Amino acid sequence: DIQLTQSPSFLSASVGDRVTITCRASQGINNYLAWYQQKPGRAPKLLIYSASTLQTGVPSRFSGSGSGTDFTLTISGLQPEDFATYYCQQDTSFPLTFGGGTKVNIK
Amino acid sequence: EVQLVESGGGLVEPGGSLRLSCAASGFTFSDYYMDWVRQAPGKGLEWVGRSRSKAKRYTTEFVASVKGRFAISRLESENSVYLHMNSLKIEDTAIYYCTRGFRLNGRTWFDPWGQGTLVTVSS
């Protein structure tokens, strides 16, 4: 199975901050990676797929990069509605797997 | 508008069975992959299984921990997909989400998701 390791697990940030979350795969996954946002009590929402493509309707302050084993999700100018948990997910091979999540808290 | 609505969750004893339903609307159901993802209380996301599209004969895949115990079926006339869960274990306790597979260039991403239904396995 492909393991996805996210770091950090938790981070505290202020509105307006630039935030970077990393996701490392246990083996190369090309760019077959997505990022999801989940708010408490809500279902996850697709933000980015194919490592760097923004899903329709997602604000441009979100961006993704990477290929192979190392990926990043960046939020440029954190907004109050961005405080949530973020997960990466690979679509290279079964079983499909998710990272452990990064919870972004208000500082 | 694309919508997914799950139902069927509840309390079940270890070793019991349960069938979850996911009613889809707003898109051509048979053209899409449909996946189930679960989330244990306070934990992260775990992919459970997939039903491919009609063109792929609705073939299925599962995570190892549920293989042989869970099955996925569809009913086209109801635009519904079902997760049949047997021999349930305490560790199957989770919110179960139904999600549509958004396919592009041979890859599949989860979008959108239903609201989830809670399954509790306990004696």
Q: What φ, ψ does residue B11 adopt, rounded to 5°?
A: -95, 130
- Asked whether A35 and A22 are in contact (CB, 8 A), the reply is no
Read off the pLDDT of each residue in A9-20 and give the average, rounded to a whole number: 97
**Chain A: residue whose CA lies nearest to B107:** A91
Cβ distance B44 to A98 less than 8 Å, yes or no, reads: yes
Residue A16 predicted with pLDDT over 90: yes
Alpha carbons A70 and B74: distance in angstroms, whole number:
37
At residue B116, the pLDDT reads 98
Q: Is the CB of B1 inside 8 Å of chain A's CB atoms? A: no
**Chain A: residue whose CA lies nearest to B103:** A49
List A46's β-bridge partners, or say none: A36
Looking up tokens 């997760």 gives B83
**Structure token pair of residue A25:** 């795969």
Alpha carbons B76 and B62: distance in angstroms, whole number:
21
Q: Is the CB of B114 inside 8 Å of chain A's CB atoms? A: yes
Peptide bond preceding B112 in cis form (omega within 30 of 0): yes
**Chain B: residue whose CA lies nearest to A35:** B109
pLDDT in tens, A38-81: 999 999 999 999 999 999 999 999 999 999 999 999 999 999 99
- At B40, the pLDDT band (50, 70, 90 cuts) reads very high
- At A23, the pLDDT band (50, 70, 90 cuts) reads very high
Mutate which: A88, A90, A96, vs B, most B CBs within 10 A: A96
- Asked whether B35 and B99 are in contact (CB, 8 A), the reply is yes
Q: What percent of chain A has pLDDT over 90?
A: 98
Q: What percent of chain B has pLDDT over 70?
A: 100
At residue A106, the pLDDT reads 87
Interface of A with B in 30-69 (CB under 8 A): 32, 34, 36, 38, 43-46, 49-50, 55
Q: What percent of chain A has pLDDT over 70?
A: 100
Read off the pLDDT of each residue in B88-94 and give the average, rounded to a whole number: 98
Residue A107 predicted with pLDDT over 90: no
Mutate which: B107, B108, B117, B118, vs A, most A CBs within 10 A: B107
Q: What φ, ψ does residue A11 adopt, rounded to 5°?
A: -150, 145
Alpha carbons B52 and B56: distance in angstroms, whole number:
6
Alpha carbons B82 and B73: distance in angstroms, whole number:
5
SS (H, E, C) chain A: CCCEEEECCEEEECCCCEEEEEEEECCCCCCCEEEEEECCCCCCEEEEECCCEECCCCCCCEEEEEECCEEEEEEECCCHHHCCEEEEEECCCCCCEECCCEEEEEC
